Amino acid sequence: MNIRDLGRVSIRWKLTLLIVTISTVSLLLASVAFITSDRINTQQTASNNLATMAEIIAANSSAALLFGDARAAQETLGFLKAQQHIQAAAIYGTDNTVFASYRKPGIAIKFPESNIQTENTLFWGNHVELFTLINYEGEQIGIVYLRSNMKAIHDRLVWFLGIVAAVLLVSVLVTFMLSTRLQRIITDPLLRLSAIARQVRTEKNYSLRVIGENEDELGNLIIDFNAMLDEIQSRDDELSEHRAMLEERVMQRTSELEIANSKLAASKEQAEAVAKRMEYHAHHDALTGLPNRILLNDRITAELAHARRQQGKLALLFLDLDRFKIINDSLGHAVGDQLLRVIARRLGNCVREEDTVARLGGDEFMVLLPRISSSSDAGRIARKIIDCLVNPISCNGHELHITTSVGISIFPHDGVDAETLIKHADISMYRAKELGRNKAIYFTAEMNAGSRKQLALENSLRLAAGKNQLKLFYQPKIDIFRNTIVGVEALLRWEHPTMGMISPMEFIPVAEDSGLIIPIGEWVLNTAFTQLKQWHQAGYASLSMAVNISSAQLSRPGLEDVIEKALQAADLDARMTELEITENVAMENLEPAIAILEKLKHMGVSIAMDDFGTGYSSLSYLRQLPVDVVKIDQSFVREIPDSHEDVLIAQAIIAMTQSLNLSVVVEGIENVKQLNFFRQQGCNIVQGFLFSKPVEADEMLKMLAAQSAPGTVNLVK
C-alpha cells in the first residue's frame, strides 16, 4: 500500500494505523534504549565480576609467582572450575610466559602472547578477555588473564528480546483495540456528519441534523454544519415558497390565457361566422337563399369569358311569375314569401348542377345556363321549368296555381355582354307575358325596340308626380325604453290607377335609371320636411324625420343644396332630420360620398346606414363613412332569436356600433321575441310591423295623439 492508496482508506483505519504505528515505534525505541542500557550494565557487571575474580587470583597467586611455585598457582586457578562462564585463565610471568593456566574442558583456545602486560578488558563478539596486574609491594610480578564467554549476556538479551516482542505484540493488540474504540470519539461524529451530508445531498432533505454535544472542534464543526443546514433549509423553504407562488402564478396566467384563448377562438369563430354570413348576405337572396343579382353577375361574367375562349354558347332565362302580385296582395306577404321559397326550390331541382338560379327581387328570377350546345337546349330547359311549376303549391291551406313567363337570350347571338343579355332576356320575358303568359320566348331583334315594361313604367312614373299618384307613408320609430314615438321614416308609394299600389322596390330602380329619381327625390324631401314641420307645430316638436336617399341622388352634385332649400322651405331645424343611405350607395363612389355626407353632417343632418349588413363589406366601410346611426337590416332580424347565426351577427353589429359610438335602429321587428332580444341587447330604437306598418300622415298623427294621451295606448307590447 502506498501513500496514494492511503488516501482512499477510511479515517478510522488511518487513525488506527497511525496510533498503532506510533505506539509500536515508541515501544520499539524504548525497548532498544532499555536493552542497550541493560547490555551496557550487564557487560559492566560481567567485567566487574571478572575483575574481582582476577584480583582474587592475583592476590592468591603472588606468592606462588615469587617463589616459582607453579603448582600452587595452578591450584589457585582451580576454583574456576565452578565458574561456568570462564572458558580459560592464565597467570603470566613478567616475561610473558604462561606460569599457570586453566582451560574449561572441551575448549581449545590459544592464550594470547603479546600485548598482555597492561590492564585491560576486551569485549569480543562472543567472549570477553580481562588482564589484571599481579603486584607485589608496588612492583608488577605477573599478570592474570581471564576469558569468559558472553552466553549469560546473550541469554539475557534473547530473553529481553522475547519479552520485548511479547510486550510489542500485546501492546499492538491493545493499542489496536483501544484505538478502534477511542478513535470513535473522533470518527463517529465525522461519520454521522458525512452520512447526514450524503443524505442531504441525495434526498435534498434539509431538515436533517447531525447529533453531537461535544464541545471540541468536531462539536463546533457539527454545530456549524447544522447552522449551515438551518440556513439552507430556510433558503430552501423560501425558494419552495417562491416556486409555489410562481407555479400558482403560472397556473393562474395559464388559465387566464386559456380563457382568453377560448374567448379569442369564440370571437374568432363569431367573427368568421359574421364574415361568412355577411359574404353570404351580400351574394344571396335573404328569402330564398338563391344567388342574388351580384353573384349572378359575377357568374355570368365568368361564364362569358369561358364561352368566348371556347367559342361556346350560353343562355340566360329571365323568369317572372305570372299574377304573383295578386296572390301576394290578396293572401298576404307571408304566403307570398312561402310561395317564393317553394318556387326557388323547384327551380333549383329542374336545372343542371352547373346552372345558376338567381332571384333578382320580387317575383323575378334568372337562370344562367352555361355551356349549352345549341339554342334549342335553352328552350328545352325553359319548357322544363314551366312544366315543373305546373303542379299546384299548397301554402297555408291554399292550393296555389302559379305559372311563369320566361324570356331567353343567347350568347353570342343576342348579346356579347352581361348587361345586354339580361336586358334582352327581360324584354323577351315581357313579350311572353304579352303573348298570354306561361310561355318561353326567345329574344328577337325586333323586340329590341325597348322594354315595354320599363318604358311603360317610366312613362307613367313621369306623369305620376303631376297626377298626385306619389304618396309618402310614414313608419314610426319607437323608443322602447321610453315607450314613445321618437321619429318617423318616410316611405314612398305609387298609387297606380290600374296597377294598384306599386312598391318602391319596383319603381325606384326605374326612377334611378331614367333620372326621374332626382325630381322625385326632391319631392320626397320637401313633402317629408313640410309634413314634419306640421307635426312639430301640432305639438310633437321632438319628432325626427328620416328620408331614404338613393345612389343617383348622392352621386349627383348639389344634394346638400337641395336639402338646405327643403329645410329652409319647411323652416325646419336640420338636427330633426336624418338621411338613410345604403352601404352600396355610399360605396359606389366612396370619396365624393364621404365629402357630401361630411357636409350634410356639418349642417346638422344625421346620417343613417340603412339595410346594414346586406352590402359588400359593411364593417370596414362603416369606419370610413361619417355615419351616426346604423339600421340593422330586417333580414338579420327575421330569424331571431331562433337562428344562432343571426343572433351572433346582430350581437356583433351592436358591439361594433358601440365601439364606434354609433346609435342603432333595429328594422323589421315583427314579434315580441325579436323585441325582447334587442331590448336585452340594449337597443332602444326599433321599427317594424309589431308597432305599425307604414301609414299615411293623418294616421300617423292619430298615433302621435294617442301616445301623448296618457293611458290610451301602449306602444310597446
CB neighbour class for 499 (10 Å; exposed up to 12, middle 13-18, buried from 19): middle
CB 318, CB 366: distance < 8 Å: yes
Q: Smallest distance, Å, CB 687 to Mg ion?
A: 9
- Which residue lies nearer to ligand C2E by CB, 379 or 688? 688
Within 10 Å of residue 426's Cβ, how many Cβ atoms?
23
Query: Interhelix angle for 559-570 vs 517-537, to 10°?
Result: 30
Per CB under 5 A, which of residues 323..352 are in contact with Mg ion?
none
What is the binding site for ligand C2E (CB under 6 A)?
A: 475, 491-492, 503-505, 508, 524, 548-550, 580, 610-611, 634, 667-670, 687-689, 694
Is 609 or 648 the residue whose CB approaches Mg ion more closely? 609
653, amino acid identity: I
Nearest residue (CB) to ligand C2E, 407 versus 613: 613
Q: How many other β-carbons are positioned within 10 Å of the β-carbon of residue 491?
A: 20
Angstrom CA distances, 342 to 345, 358, 404, 671, 702, stand at 5, 14, 14, 24, 40
Contact between 646 and Mg ion per CB under 5 A: no
The secondary element (H helix, E strand) that includes residue 100 is: strand 98-103
Closer of 13 and 523 to ligand C2E (Cβ): 523
Neighbours of 35 (CB within 10 A): 17
Rule CB under 5 A: which of 251-270 touch Mg ion? Answer: none
Sign of CA dihedral 205, 211, 215, 218: negative
The option from ligand C2E, Mg ion, none interacting with 670 (CB < 5 to 8 A, set by class) reads ligand C2E
Q: 130 near 50, Cβ under 8 Å?
A: yes
Q: Is 475 a binder of Mg ion (CB under 5 A)?
A: no
Q: How far is the CB of 689 from ligand C2E (least distance, A)?
A: 4
Applying CB under 5 A, the site for Mg ion has a residue count of 5
Q: Quick one: DSSP state of residue 449? A: G
CB of 608 to ligand C2E, least distance (A): 9
Sole window of 10-18, 327-335, 409-417, 575-583 interacting with Mg ion (rule: CB under 5 A): 575-583
C-alpha cell at 395: 301554402
Nearer to Mg ion, 86 or 666 (CB): 666
Closest approach of ligand C2E to the CB of residue 464, in Å: 13
Name the CA radius of gyration of the chain, rounded.
69
Residue closer to ligand C2E, measured from CB, 317 or 650: 650
Report if residue 580 touches Mg ion, rule: CB under 5 A: yes
Which amino acid, residue 195? A
Q: Which helix (H) or strand (E) holds 147?
A: strand 139-149
* Among ligand C2E, Mg ion, none, residue 615 binds (CB under 5-8 Å by kind): none
Tell me whether residue 475 or residue 707 sits nearer to ligand C2E (CB atom): 475
Compute the Cα dihedral for 10, 14, 17, 23 and give only its sign: negative
Q: Rounded to the nearest whole angstrom, what is the least distance from the CB of residue 687 to ligand C2E in the complex?
A: 6
Q: Is the dihedral of CA 216, 220, 221, 225 positive or negative?
A: positive
Report the sign of the C-alpha dihedral through residues 140, 145, 146, 147, in that order: positive
Contact of residue 681 among ligand C2E, Mg ion, none (CB under 5-8 Å per partner type):
none
Q: In the complex, what is the shortest distance from the CB of residue 490 to ligand C2E, in angstroms, rounded to a whole number?
A: 6
The residue from 317, 611, 615, 618 that contacts Mg ion (CB under 5 A) is 611
Residue among 202, 132, 152 nearest 46 (CA): 152
Q: Which residues, numbered 530-549, are part of the site for Mg ion (CB under 5 A)?
A: 548
**Minimal CB distance residue for ligand C2E:** 688
Closer residue to ligand C2E (CB): 63 or 562: 562
In the block, which residue shows the cell 292619430?
Answer: 702
Taking the complex as a whole, the smallest distance from the CB of residue 631 to ligand C2E amounts, in Å, to 7
Q: Taking CB within 5 to 8 Å according to partner kind, which of ligand C2E, Mg ion, none is near residue 505? A: ligand C2E
With respect to Mg ion, which residue has the nearer C-beta, 372 or 492? 492
Residue 578 binds to Mg ion (criterion: CB under 5 A) = no
Taking the complex as a whole, how short is the minimal distance between the CB of residue 531 and ligand C2E, in angstroms?
13
Closest CB to ligand C2E among residues 16, 553: 553
Sheet of 404-411, strands arranged across: 356-361, 364-372, 313-321, 404-411, 440-442
**Site of interaction with Mg ion (CB under 5 A):** 548, 580, 610-611, 667
